[in-house]
Chains A and B, each alone.
Chain A
Amino acid sequence: GESVGLHLPTLSVQEGDNSIINCAYSNSASDYFIWYKQESGKGPQFIIDIRSNMDKRQGQRVTVLLNKTVKHLSLQIAATQPGDSAVYFCAERGSNYQLIWGAGTKLIIKP
């Protein structure tokens, strides 16, 4: 079946360093992927998305990379700030056009 998973449940990064959050997906036919950020006690917020016809997409301080060969997705956050502390979710669009969510990675920023 379709599933989305994450390599690490918790990532600890020094403030100012770059963060890389990884995500694996299982359906090679998935054509759309998305990243959300969820702060404690709040709803998820959209960060960035990417379609399968792209390998890379950049936003403000964030970059998403898609490697379709190994079915791997990553979110890079440049110059990590305290406000980046959150749980980050990747999701892929399933066969019924609904999103299939990973379990999330908690990003901890060390001062």
Chain B
Amino acid sequence: DGGITQSPKYLFRKEGQNVTLSCEQNLNHDAMYWYRQDPGQGLRLIYYSQIVNDFQKGDIAEGYSVSREKKESFPLTVTSAQKNPTAFYLCASNDGGSGANVLTFGAGSRLTVL
């Protein structure tokens, strides 16, 4: 079945450590996205990539980094510069472009900073 796989599902981090969240899709989608979700709030866009080897900052990119070396993969690194990293992180994908808007989401990764 086609879909998006995020790992790990749960992750604990000590302050000052970088962590990388994995996102893999087999939907052959061009565009991939990372969102952050906090309790009682809507999704906020961190980074997105419309094509391999290219990505753009979203609304809350500070303290995060990404790479898009392969079409299928879009890992997110939460760096020590992110002051409040505890959150639920969602990866999504779609066909990209101005006309394609329906996103397919992964199951999410919950990061907790100890």
Closest to B4 in A: A43
Asked if B74 lies at the interface with its beta carbon under 8 angstroms from chain A, I say: no
Q: How far is the CA of A102 from the CA of B48 in the complex (A)?
A: 19
> How near does chain B come to A5, taking the closest CB pair, in angstroms?
9
Given contacts A102-B42, A103-B42, contact A49 B105 (CB under 8 A): no
The secondary structure that dominates the B interface is loop
The secondary structure that dominates the A interface is strand
Total A-B pairs, Cβ < 8 A: 51
Interface size class of B (residues with CB under 8 A): 20 to 34
Given contacts A9-B40, A98-B48, A101-B43, contact A43 B102 (CB under 8 A): no
Q: How far is the CA of A99 from the CA of B103 in the complex (A)?
A: 10
Question: What residues of chain A have their CB less than 8 Å away from a CB belonging to chain B?
Answer: 4, 9, 32, 34, 41-46, 49, 89, 91, 93, 97-104
- Give me 19 other A-B pairs in contact (C-beta within 8 A), A34-B102, A41-B107, A100-B42 excluded: A9-B40, A41-B108, A43-B90, A43-B106, A44-B90, A44-B103, A44-B105, A45-B105, A46-B103, A89-B42, A91-B42, A93-B101, A97-B98, A97-B101, A99-B43, A99-B101, A99-B103, A102-B42, A104-B42
